[in-house]
Chains A and B, each alone.
Chain A
Amino acid sequence: MRAALGKVLCLGKEMFLKRAFALSRVTAARESPTCAVGSTLLSCNRHYRSQPTHGIGRFRHLLPLELSKRKRDRIRMKEISAGSDHAYGDLNIQMTAYDMCLVEHFAQYVHKLCNRFSIRVIESYAMPTKTTEVMVMQEQGSRLYLDAVLTTHQRVVQISGLSSTFAPVLLEVIQSNQPEGVHLSVKEHTEADFKVRLKARPELEELMAQMS
């Protein structure tokens, strides 16, 4: 019995394995009550490591090496490509509206359109929501009272490598499919646009000012 199991553990040839398999099946049937009770880690008959399919689900060794990044280093600005004579560099398509569903759907539409036209979309992000309180003068008195609270939502789709011959076509398609209430603007991406997305850290700035 032990010898048979030992044969199973050492990866022998196929004939060996078939015989060992048959034997182990018989032994497993008899010893199953004890094996089932204890954990599988305790038992020494782990057949699958000997099978040719061992490691069939492994994929991490195929992925490119990812260096672990510290949280502080993660936010780094990507290089802004300047355009050449025949192609634009990084462009920001900014869509602003009061209605969030509308502007999000339009941003999704623009993104899918760019994918369809094989235009490289670098990023598609949202700017923070701005809340505006509309105060109206009271008719009877002179006090301002709150009439409405409006939220302005902005979505940005950043594209790159738009050729100058195709740009008019894309712009016209986007403009003609613009929904009511959405304000559209296409601008070149600058560092200021990137900095606007980051939060200012007043304590850090205070300390830096104190140091210098």
Chain B
Amino acid sequence: MALWCGALWPMGGKMAAPMQRALCGAAVPWRWALGPRWLAAAAAPRWRLVGALCLQRPPSITQALSPEQEEMAQLVHQIEVEKSNFSDHEIRRLAEEEQLRKMKDNIQDEEADSGQAIVLAQDLEDAWEQKFQQFKAGPRITDADKCNDRTSLNRKLDRNLMLLVKEKVGNQELWLLPQAEWQAGETLRSTAERALATLSGNCIQAKFLGNAPCGLYKYKFPRALRTEGSVGAKIFFFKALLQSGDLPQAERKEDYVWVSRGELGDYLKPDYLTQVNRFLMDQ
């Protein structure tokens, strides 16, 4: 083989094919020798597969504008208003104001009231103003915000909220995303759906955006727990959006929270958190 290399290098370029043939010729007996060991290594699964669910409640109101954005928005609005033409309503209102002024000046000469509309533009505006005063918008900062009740879904309406559960893994209690172990014959997405069903008992309607996982976290078990079959576990995360429903309030009040991205650090372990942060899209 070494002689072959020495001979072929000066030719340059076309050494690939003969080299490949030589390698194949030499490799076949090598592979056969390691045959049984290689097959044995692939047969037993070395990693446990777990499907986890990242259930997100989408925000229902937009976030407040920053001071610069607010200033810019006001300036742009002012420019637009000053550059725009009058609308039909405004033209009508100006015409009626003109008419009223003329009527006041000519009140001695004419008292004819014909041709005047019953409802003036000004009256319409007053009626609209009254209606607007009666309208009350819902509060942006809810009660749950004020008392920082993390188990309620009404908190932080302008942000994504994620579900975290406390589970016993090994011999310690950990906060993590709801997960279930993969069983043979099902897809990983159905594993995540099963995790949701076992957790909520069909109270929650969630929409999965796709079949592909969005993130991965793999870890090895401590040496004491490692067996021939399982060295560690790989957790595949699937994202789902909450359509309706909530966890049944009666059971397990301390075992679950709905948190925003900033509060994840209070609950998750650092390694787990870095992997989860990789697929979160909000601020």
- A residues with CB within 8 A of B: 164-165, 167-169, 171-173, 175-176, 179-180
C-alpha spacing A88/B9, complex, angstroms: 49
Cα–Cα distance between A179 and B59 once the two chains are bound (Å): 11
Q: Report if B11 contacts A (CB, 8 A).
A: no
Known A176-B281, A176-B282: A168·B62 in contact at CB below 8 Å: no
B156 part of interface (Cβ distance < 8 Å): no
Contact B211 A164, beta carbon cutoff 8 Å: yes
Is there a chain A Cβ closer than 8 Å to B155's Cβ? no
B57: A residues at CB distance < 8 A: none
**B62 cross-chain contacts in A, Cβ below 8 A:** 179-180
Main secondary structure on chain A at its contact with chain B?
Answer: helix
**CB distance B211 to A172 under 8 Å?**
no
User: Digit string of B225-263 for contact with A (CB within 8 Å is 1, else 0)?
Assistant: 000000000000001010000000000000000000000
Q: Which residues of B contact A168 (CB under 8 A)?
A: 209-210, 212, 214, 239
The answer to whether B18 has its CB under 8 Å from any CB of chain A is no
With both beta carbons as reference points, the residue of chain A lying nearest to B58 in the complex is identified as A175
Shortest Cβ distance from A165 into B: residue: B212
The 10 A-B residue pairs with the shortest CB-CB distance in the complex, in nearest-first order: A168-B209, A168-B210, A165-B212, A167-B210, A171-B209, A180-B62, A172-B281, A176-B281, A164-B210, A164-B212
Size range of the interface on B? 10 to 19
Task: Determine whether the beta carbon of A165 is less than 8 Å from that of B210.
Answer: yes
How many angstroms between the C-alpha atoms of A171 and B211 in the bound complex? 13
A172 with B209: CB separation less than 8 A: yes
Chain A residue nearest to B207 (CB atoms) is: A171
Chain B residues closer than 8 Å to A167, beta-carbon distance: 209-210
Q: Which residues of B contact A (CB under 8 A)?
A: 58, 61-62, 160, 209-212, 214, 239, 241, 281-282
Whether the Cβ atoms of B281 and A173 lie closer than 8 Å is: yes
The closest CB in chain A to the CB of B282 belongs to: A176
A184 to B60, CA, bound (A): 14
A79 CB to nearest B CB, Å = 25
Q: With A179-B62, A180-B62 as known contacts, state yes or no: A172 contacts B239, CB within 8 Å.
A: yes
Residues of A within 8 A of B239 (CB): 168, 172
Complex CA gap A173/B61 in Å reads: 16
Report the separation of the CA atoms of residues A164 and B187 in the bound assembly, to the nearest whole angstrom. Answer: 15
Q: Give the distance to chain B from A102, nearest Cβ to Cβ, in Å.
A: 12
Q: What is the minimal beta-carbon distance from B78 to any residue of chain A, in angstroms? A: 16
Closest residue of chain A to B127 (Cβ to Cβ) is A147
Question: Inside 8 A of B241's CB, which chain A residues have their CB?
Answer: 175
Smallest beta-carbon distance B58→chain A, Å: 7
Q: Tell me which of A164, A165, A168 has the highest count of chain B C-beta atoms within 10 A of its own C-beta.
A: A168
Q: How far does the Cβ of B162 sit from chain A's closest Cβ, in whole Å?
A: 13
Contacts of A172 in B (CB 8 A): 209, 239, 281
Within the complex, the shortest CB–CB distance from A175 to chain B, in Å, comes to: 7
A165–B210 CA distance with the chains assembled, in angstroms: 7
| Distance A167 CA – B211 CA, assembled complex (angstroms) | 10
CA distance A167 to B214 in the complex (A): 11
| Seed contacts A172-B239, A172-B281, A175-B241; 18 additional CB < 8 Å A-B pairs | A164-B210, A164-B211, A164-B212, A165-B210, A165-B212, A167-B209, A167-B210, A168-B210, A168-B212, A169-B214, A171-B209, A171-B210, A173-B281, A176-B281, A176-B282, A179-B62, A180-B61, A180-B62
Residue of A whose beta carbon sits closest to that of B279: A169
| B58 neighbours in A (Cβ, 8 Å) | 175-176
Residues of A within 8 A of B211 (CB): 164
Nearest chain-B residue to A175 (Cβ)? B58
Contacts of B214 in A (CB 8 A): 168-169
Q: What is the bound-complex CA distance between A179 and B73, given in angstroms?
A: 15
Among B210, B214, B241, the most chain A Cβ lie within 10 Å of the Cβ of B210
B282 neighbours in A (Cβ, 8 Å): 176
Within the assembled complex, what's the spacing in Å between the Cα atoms of A168 and B210? Answer: 5
- Shortest B139–chain A CB gap in Å is 16
CB of B241, distance to nearest CB on chain A (Å): 8
C-alpha spacing A172/B281, complex, angstroms: 8
Q: Name 28 A/B residue pairs within 8 A (Cβ), A-sorted.
A: A164-B210, A164-B211, A164-B212, A165-B210, A165-B212, A167-B209, A167-B210, A168-B209, A168-B210, A168-B212, A168-B214, A168-B239, A169-B214, A171-B209, A171-B210, A172-B209, A172-B239, A172-B281, A173-B281, A175-B58, A175-B241, A176-B58, A176-B160, A176-B281, A176-B282, A179-B62, A180-B61, A180-B62
B209 — which chain A residues lie within 8 A by C-beta? 167-168, 171-172
Residues of chain A with a CB closer than 8 A to B61's CB:
180
